[in-house]
Amino acid sequence: MNELKNARNDYEATPIPQELDALVRASIRQGRKNYRQRYLKISLATAAACFAVLFGTLNLSPTAAAIAADMPILSGLFKILTIQNFQQTQDGIDFQVSVPEIQASGPLAPQINAAIQEEVDRHLAKARQDWADYSEAFLATGGTKAELAERRMDVIVDYEIKSQTDTTVSFAVYLGECWVAAYEESYYYNLDLQNNQPITLQMLLGDDWVQICNESIQRGIAASVDETGFSYFFPAEEGGFAGVDENTAFYIRPDGVPVVTFAKYEIAAGAAGTPEFPITTE
- The pLDDT score that the predictor gives to residue 99 is 97
What DSSP line would sit under 157-211, residue for residue?
Answer: EEEEEEEE-SSEEEEEEEEEEESSSEEEEEEEEEEETTTTEE--HHHHH-TTHHH
Length of the chain in terms of residues written = 282
Tens-place pLDDT, residues 79-127 = 999 999 999 999 999 999 999 999 999 999 999 999 999 999 999 999 9
Query: Residue 40: pLDDT band by 50, 70, 90 thresholds?
Result: very low
How big is the chain by its Cα radius of gyration, in Å?
A: 20
**Tens digits of residue pLDDT in 185-196:** 999 999 999 999
User: In sequence order, which residues have a C-beta less than 8 Å from that of residue 245 and are 6 or more positions away?
Assistant: 210
pLDDT band at residue 228 using 50, 70 and 90 as cut-offs: very high
21-25, 35-39, 85-89, 181-185 — most confident range? 85-89
Report the pLDDT averaged over residues 5-26.
Answer: 45
Crossing angle of the two packed helices 18-33 and 108-140, in degrees rounded to 10: 160
Query: Apex CA 170: angle with CA 166 and CA 173, to 5°?
Result: 135
Distance CA 11, CA 152 (A): 8
Distance CA(195)–CA(168), nearest Å, equals 9
Strands 182-192 and 38-39 turn out to be parallel
Bridge partners (DSSP) of residue 197 are 192
Cα distance between residue 115 and residue 175, in whole Å: 13
38: pLDDT strictly greater than 80: no
d(CA 131, CA 153): 7
The pLDDT-based confidence of 42 (bands split at 50, 70, 90) is: very low
pLDDT band at 180 (very low <50, low <70, confident <90, very high): confident
pLDDT of residue 76: 57
pLDDT at 41 over 70: no
Residue 10 has what pLDDT?
52
Asked if the model's pLDDT at residue 20 lies above 60, the reply is no
Position 150 scores a pLDDT of 92
Higher pLDDT, 6 or 155: 155
**pLDDT at residue 183, as a whole number:** 80
DSSP H helices, the chain, are 2-12, 18-33, 47-53, 108-140, 145-149, 201-205, 209-223
The burial of 74, by beta-carbon neighbours within 10 Å (0-12 exposed, 13-18 middle, 19 or more buried), is given as middle
Residue 206 has pLDDT above 70, yes or no: yes
Nearest to 154 by CA among 123, 121, 133: 123
Q: Please, are residues 130 and 27 in contact by the beta-carbon 8 Å criterion?
A: yes
Percent of the chain scoring above 90 in pLDDT: 69
